[in-house]
Each structure stands twice: as C-alpha cells, then as structure tokens.
Structure 1
C-alpha cells in the first residue's frame, strides 16, 4: 500500500480590507478624526462660521440706513485714527486685569485650604463655595448695586460705626465698583481650576522639601506655587477673556468712568445700528486678547523653565 503524504497548507492570514473600511482599520489617526467629526462639525458651525461672518461684516461700511457690502478697511482705519477706541481698549484691559488679579489672589487661599486642609467631604466644601454663583449673573450685579449704593449696606454700616459722617459717593458708578463686582461674579471660575491643580500635587514632594530643611514659606514658593501654576494660568484666562468684553456690569455700575469696550460694541449693534463698526471692534478686541494671551503664556513658560 503506497504511503500517502499530506502536505502542510499555509494557514490563511488576515484578509486585507479594501476601501474606506481598510483605511479605517490601518489608520489610527483617521479613526480618531472620525470619532471627533461630530465635535469638529459643531465647532465649525458654532465658532468658525460666526467668526467668518463677523470678519466679513467688519469689512463693510454703513451708508445711511443701509450697509455697503463693498469690502474695505475703512472701519479699521477709523479705529486706528480716533483715540476714543484706544482709550476704551486700555480701560477695558486695565479693569479686567485688576479684576483678574484680585480674583486669583483672593480665591487661591480658599482653593489651597480645601486641597490641603480638608480631608473629608471636599465636594461639600466645593459646593458651598460655589453655591452663591448658582443664581443669575444679573441678580448678583444688582445685589452689588444695592450694597454699594448711596444708602447701601457699606455706607450705612460705616455711618453706624462712626467712621464717616455722610455716604461715600465714589463707591458706586466707578471703576472700583466694576472691579469689585467682576471679582465676585467670576470667583467660582478661579476657585475650581486652582483647586484641581493643587489637589493633583504629590504630597510626598512637600514632605521631601520639609526633610531637606525648607520651612512653610520656602516649601510653598519652591514646590506648591510652581506646581499649581497651570491652575492659576487657567483661572486667569477664564476670567480675563470674558470680563474684557463684559458690558452688563459696566452699564449698571460703571458710570461714565467705567464704560468699557463691550458697552461700545453693544451700542454699535443696538441703538447706533452700525453693525460693521461693531464687528470691527469685536475683531480688534479678539486679536488683542489673543496677543495678550500669547505673551502671557510665553512669559509663564519662560519663568517655569528658569525655575526648573
């Protein structure tokens, strides 16, 4: 009987997919973009498209009661030549910068205390600190208008304690009133990112600094503060960017000295009916904020490298 040999046949390998399915199987980047496509579409429709419309409108001009859609840089030239626009920008950046610094300085100790000294029910502490900010922004602005008013809580309290004989008129309708209100209104946006940054710090690093002879002040300056800098930077951006274009608080509490660029933009889109000029001021404000943010990031990264 003849011997029969069975030849080994190679096992079939994985079939190579073709078309779009094959591209998705082979490319991790393409799969990632496909998963992000709904978000990218929303960003494209909700952010890019309005910006393009605003930029196009800024190149128009108003002719009587109608808009001339001929593209021109006349609005940008006007904002460059008339000093009122530069003065409004400087005032807006000053008020927003002071409010941002005050908010971060006042909120950092609260975030530090919860991160390092509260060991139970931390979420309850966070909720309690942010509870006042659950109310309407407009209601909080009106509350500060009552507090700082001519017969408000501050003036009445100072008179009752005998510190002043008559109410202080400069508390309301001033830049100081705008700064105080903005600092309070945006405090929650400073506490949360700084708390998260402080909570992530490895406590063993602080113990090591103590073993090496650092006292509380040196340990804070050399370890805690540099490691919490991402939260501080995030808080600065979350406060500075929206407060620069705020128009509600200056309109209700600012008075003539507290008018900001946001009020002028609202005026152009409202009673003045000069949408091209309003769009131009909005574009200029965005460019200035982007430039300031870029410089701020560059300086902070440079400082972090020197510290490291």
Structure 2
C-alpha cells in the first residue's frame, strides 16, 4: 500500500466508523428485533415471521402505512407546486441580491419546528385565525370545526414546514439552465408557455426529483405533526411505531412495522422517480 492509499484509508476510517456506529448498528439491531418476540418484559430471540405477518394481516397497520404514503405524496406535490414559482422567480427574474432572496427562504429555519406546528394549530383551531377571519367577514355563522385534526391539516402543516427544502434544489436546477436554450426557442418562434414546457420544465426535472425525495422520504416518518394537528384521522405509521416502542413496549412489532414502512416507502419513492422521468421524457 503506497503513501496515498494509506493517507486515504486514514482519512476514511473515522467517517466509516461513524457511519457504522450511528447508522449500520441501529439498522442491524432493528432488523434483528423484527424477527424476535416480546413476552411481557422479556424478548425471546427465537427467529419468527410472526411480527411481519401481524403487520400485513392487521388492517389497522395497512391503513396507517398507505395513509402515510398518501399524505407524503400529497405533501410532496403541494410543496413542489408552491416552491417552483418561488424558485423560478429567484432564478430568472431576480437580477441582483439573489443571495438575499435565498437568505429569506431560510428564515423559517430560525424558529423551532415545534413552534411552526403549534402556529398552524392556532391558525386552524376552532377559535383560530381562519375561523375568526371568516366570522368577521360574515362568510360563516359558526366556527368550522373540521379544519383541524384530519389528514388535510397534516398536509398543509408539512407543506409549509418543508417548503424551503423544495425551493433550494429547484432553484439550483433552474439556475444551471443555459439561457441560450431559451433564446434559441424564442428565435424558433416558441412562445413563453411552450418554451417553459419544452425547455425550462424538462431541464428542471432533476431539481424536482431531488426536492421530491427530500420531502417524500422524511415526511412518511414524521410523527410530531400528525400527533399535534392530525388527530385520529391524520395519524401516520410513525405514530404507531412510537406507540409500540413506548407505551405498548413491543419492540419487535415496532421494528417489523418500521422496516415494513421502509420497504413501502422505497417502492413508492422509486415509482415517484420513474413517473417524473417519464414526464421528463415526454416533454423532450
């Protein structure tokens, strides 16, 4: 082994140990627990598929997994649709002080995530901002009690929380587009709409894919937001996993539920990327 190889090994060793300690070891323990059995306070380490059979046989667990994927997909779609115009404006219309605009995008990170969730809880509450405004305008006579504690409230709250994570990668993708392509489309007689659909949008698909993955994958595992604004109709699979590892004290079932959710999320994420790739190909 030459000097450069030894130096590379020396530099890579701390990172490798860090990954093994904080990622590989917990994942390995989760996999091991999923094949064990909980008996009161003791864990029986005999191999069994019973936990996975229970996860896919119980309609409650299936409902929570599919609801989590559906809510994450809705959050991803809404967030990307709201983030794209902002990223487009910064990339194409802002000529000076782009750094200041990007700095403003990161302002939500200055406040606690819990504080932002509680803010939406106050906004959507029965005596919150929305109901108070509608009552003041005379649109309604009594407060609407269905704005909070449902899946729609979870979608709105998560879309607001993850918006900066969508704006930044989409902006980077739009900023890298060669402006000569747009000029060539204009010279060939393309209007603004067709230029956007045939040039700008296809070239921004990588940023959209990146933003979608950044939002979709962690959103499925969010349990704080559903617990605070979702109620029973907005509960997600992460809430059940937290219950199994906490109050129910059934770590093997919680581990099996977590790994089952990971498999479902991976499949859904692959389908999402494939769909965006097909859209990109159809636009070219």
Interval of TM-score (by shorter of Structure 1 and Structure 2): over 0.9
Displacement of 1:130 in angstroms is 2.0
| Cross-structure match for 2:91 | 115
Match of 1:158 among 131, 134, 137: 134
Q: Deviations over 1:128-187 (max 9, x none)?
A: 122123211000000100011111000000100111111100001111111110000111
The change in CA–CA distance for 1:299 and 1:149 in structure 2 (over 3 A counts) is: closer
Displacement of 1:44 in angstroms is 2.4
Q: CA–CA distance in 2 between the matches of 1:127 and 1:215?
A: 32
Give the 3-state SS of the residue equivalent to 2:38 in structure 1.
strand
Give the 3-state SS of the residue equivalent to 1:67 in structure 2.
strand
Q: What runs of 5+ residues in structure 1 fail to find an aligned partner?
A: 1-19, 25-29
Contact 2:216 2:269 in 1 (8 A): no
- Matched ranges for 1:197-208 at <5 A: 197-208=173-184
Q: Deviations over 1:254-289 (max 9, x none)?
A: 111111101000001111111111111111111111
Q: CA–CA distance in 1 between the matches of 2:3 and 2:72?
A: 52
What is the number of equivalent residue pairs in this alignment?
284
The change in CA–CA distance for 1:239 and 1:172 in structure 2 (over 3 A counts) is: same
Q: Which has the higher contact order (CA 8 A, sep 6+)?
A: 2
Q: Which has the larger radius of gyration?
A: 1
| Cross-structure match for 1:17 | none
Match of 2:251 among 275, 287, 296: 275
Displacement of 1:305 in angstroms is 4.1
| Cross-structure match for 2:43 | 67
- Matched ranges for 1:1-308 at <5 A: 20-21=1-2, 24=5, 35-308=11-284
For normalisation by structure 2, the TM-score amounts to 0.95
Which one is further off, 97-106 or 289-298? 289-298
Q: CA–CA distance in 2 between the matches of 1:305 and 1:132?
A: 35
Displacement of 1:60 in angstroms is 0.9
Q: CA–CA distance in 1 between the matches of 2:144 and 2:197?
A: 39
CA RMSD across the alignment: 1.7
Q: CA–CA distance in 2 between the matches of 1:239 and 1:171?
A: 23
Displacement of 1:201 in angstroms is 0.6
Displacement of 1:66 in angstroms is 1.5
For normalisation by structure 1, the TM-score amounts to 0.88
